[in-house]
Structure 1
Amino acid sequence: MGATVTSRVFDLLGAFDAGHRSLTLSALARRAGLPLATAHRLVADLRRCGALDRRPDGEYVIGRRLWDLGLLAPMRTGLRQAASPFLHDLYGATLATVHLAVRDGAEALYIDRLAGHVSVPIVSDVGSRLPLHATGVGKVLLAHAPDDVVAAALARLTRITPYTVTEPARLLAQVRRIRAEGYATTGEEMSLGACSVAVPVRGPADEVVAALGIVVPTLRRERPKLVAALQVAAQGISRTLARS
């Protein structure tokens, strides 16, 4: 049986990943394994329905409609609603960028963000995916991921900045510490000039369903205070999820 139109559409959408956020038509066709003419026709259909957008430079990116549809997934919709007031409280208390992320395969998917006034470089946005090993929320999610996900992450530790942890033994030691201490930190591992601290958010069955994090210029003096604030917020989100 040949490939269906649906499978070809998903092949095209699957051509995008964290390292390929925008693609030319020819790159899309090549990565999806489709003839250029077929890719051209399907991409035109996806643009018309808002699933893909075309930038001024001619490259294609994932469209807003896909993100809007993704937010309708019951777990993520309920999680964002439960977390929203606590994210606002954290932002109001710190004026720093606050993140809420879930694990999507071997990446951290950012499902909510409040941008702070603290002047630090931020590469994440709502809907973006970043490596688990280089972000605070990602390390929390990695620490509570199945063993096969941890093994896969340890096998491909890409260096993003000079401070990114790329030694498997060192990252595994961090994972164990995060499990024991209940929080994760990073120091300029995703962006120079940006540090982060994050904690797990647990669901009704005590499973880790998300990670809550803050990005600041430094953690030297503020780490205990930020960890405490994050943990209070995470507990509040968990209580709200348990009631829903």
Structure 2
Amino acid sequence: MTQASGYRERNSTADRALTILQMFDDQRLVLSAAAVAEHLKVARSTAYRYLQTLVQAQFLTEDGRGGFRLGMKVLQLARLARRSYGLGDVAVPVMRQLTERFHQTVLLTRQMGQAVVCLEREESREQYVRLSYERGTILDLNAGASALVLLAWLSEPQQRVALQGAPLRRFTPQSIVELEPLLERLRAIRADGYAVSYGEVDAEAVGIAVPIFRSSGEVLAAISVVLIRSRVSAEQIDEIRHALLEAAAHLSHEAQLLES
């Protein structure tokens, strides 16, 4: 056999192996050698040889009744595939749904040291007012709901260290810049399970933020909506809050899958 023909044979074998793996679906969780032979248009002995190759590589396992199931190697690869996608990859479709539903800016933020970073931002095409939050924007720790909700689940000593070491700027008369009132605010946010800020960074803006949790119970990130107060009612704010709580619960579950 020449080098070229040997390569073609190996490549053909790989193609057949991938075809076999693609035969599995929700309705077909177990394959037989006969079904594989029919699908590949090969002899049953040839199909069995392909199946045994996949068994040896742990992509398949025999079920004891002549059938073949997906093996541990597939589970391992699935776990690695989940981990290869960052939270942003999971969060952006959810954020996009929220922007299309409410026509407001949706942010994904995360605490990094003594600052909060905007990881992702989504805006609706039908949104008339644009807000100046770009990906990579650094926010102060006391800068409204999307920042405060990230601190609320830290222990009080951790909160004190973070806030005492960070600049606490007064953006509007509603901004909280004193340590003890900030700690009291964080306790209230934790009790509520979310944060709502009115005019603390921009006098006309309302921020609603909900935490996304790791499996350990630590806050990984926050998802939030920033809107112009004069353009929404109290009922709409409440509706957005409920939608954010649902979105954050879903993203917490997805984030914990990524960690597993």
Give me the TM-score of the superposition, normalised by structure 1: 0.63
Structure 2: tracts of 5 or more residues without a match: 1-81
1:186-243 deviation digits (Å, cap 9, x = unpaired): 1111122111010000123332100110011126333321111001111111222233
Partner residue of 2:112?
A: 104
Two-structure CA RMSD over aligned residues (Å): 2.3
1:82-119 deviation digits (Å, cap 9, x = unpaired): 11111111111111000000101121111000124545
Residue type at the aligned position of 1:222: Q
Task: State which of 212, 219, 223 in structure 2 corresponds to 1:208.
Answer: 219
Question: Any residues of structure 2 matched to 1:78-89 within 5 Å, and which?
Answer: 78-89=86-97
Q: Does 1:123 align with 2:137?
A: no
Distance of 2:257 and 2:187 partners within structure 1: 31
Partner residue of 1:132?
A: 141
Question: Any residues of structure 2 matched to 1:1-244 within 5 Å, and which?
Answer: 78-116=86-124, 117-120=126-129, 122-155=131-164, 156-218=167-229, 220-244=234-258
Aligned pairs, how many? 171
Distance of 1:98 and 1:179 partners within structure 2: 21
Q: Percent identity?
A: 29
CA contact (8 A) 1:121 1:194 kept: no
State the secondary structure of the residue aligned to 1:133: coil
Q: How far off is 1:81 after superposition?
A: 1.0
Distance of 1:145 and 1:82 partners within structure 2: 24
State the secondary structure of the residue aligned to 1:103: strand
Partner residue of 2:63?
A: none
Q: How far off is 1:142 after superposition?
A: 1.4
State the secondary structure of the residue aligned to 1:99: strand
Give me the TM-score of the superposition, normalised by structure 2: 0.60
State the secondary structure of the residue aligned to 1:200: strand
More deviation in 134-143 or 163-172?
163-172
1:128-170 deviation digits (Å, cap 9, x = unpaired): 1101212211010111235454214543422112221123222
Q: Which runs of 4+ in 1 moved over 6 A?
A: none
Structure 1: tracts of 5 or more residues without a match: 1-73
